[in-house]
Amino acid sequence: MAVMTYLEAISAGLREAMRRDERVFLIGEDIGVFGGAFKVTKGFIDEFGPQRVVDAPLAETAIVGSAIGAAVMGMRPVVEMQFADFVTDAFTQVVNMAAKFHYRNDWCVPVVIRMPYGGGLRAGPYHSSCMEAWFVHTPGLKVVTPATPEDAKGLLLAGIRDDNPVMYFEHKHLYRHVRGEVPDGYYETPIGEAAVRRQGSHLSLFTYGWMVHLALQAAHRAAGEGIEVEVVDLRSLAPMDKEAIAASVARTGKALVVHEATKTGGVGGEIAAFIAEECFESLDGPVVRVASVDTPVPHSPVLEDAFLPGVESIAAAIRKLAAY
């Protein structure tokens, strides 16, 4: 075990995969000589060379298209979107090519697309978005959202080994703000399995990414008021661990869904629909969602704080639902 930041764990996962398998290579903007916008790949070009750490032009559709072609031919590329927002320029390659090739042609497409996403860094509307719902809605893609350094490494390694295209959402706010123990060497965090981060009996809170940490703070605050919240870190959004969701709702009878993405059309709506359809007899209250406001991400610190879910807004939703 070693204590690492979330960013260091991602970097360690990439090194582990590249040292084990020569088919793994990286491609993205400024990832080689510069070491990446966030320095995840700092020093990689010195160890692995420019053939495996490919500095690409500012052309996301070409980057993802090249990676898909390499994956179809037997390589295992890892693409870095400099910011997740920029994946829009490669949308056709992701949703019409990578996601459908296996269904259409029986081809494996083992590509991982790293998606630095989310707010909290005052980066404004073009560098802070949460667009995971777009890809959860696309059959053929796997979507993972690690919240801890251990899972950041383990889900990355699982994604690289997977024969399907994997959208790997890594939260920028967690890069240097969260530290934790990370196992040495190679290991995988199973894709499609949630983790209960806190046990409770009064209500279940389902979330992922940065919001896991805010949810745990809100749950701790609620515990001081006599409300015991079970916090479930989904970790994987496609496939989603519906068995874990149903089991938690059966234990507590109430469900709160928290995500950073804007509310309308977000993943929370899908979770709420599943609970309403499949867990109705377990419910003792409405399914409640806490999410960001339906606007672009503000640049102003004051406005961004008002836009994002926070510990207090989550705690308020906990109190209201617990009292229902």
| Active site residues per annotation | 127
Is the distance from CB of 133 to CB of 267 less than 8 angstroms?
yes
* Euclidean distance between CA atoms 204 and 222, whole angstroms: 13
C-alpha pair distances (Å), 234 with each of 114, 202, 231: 18, 19, 9
Return the percent helix, strand and coil in the chain, to nearest 5: 40, 20, 40
Q: Which long-range contacts (CB under 8 A, 24 or more apart) does 45-49 make?
A: 47/15, 48/18
Contacts of 19 (CB under 8 A, 6+ apart): none
In order, the DSSP letters of 46-106 are: HHH-TTTEEE--S-HHHHHHHHHHHHHTT-EEEEE-SSGGGGGGGHHIIIIIITTHHHHH-
* Euclidean distance between CA atoms 59 and 34, whole angstroms: 17
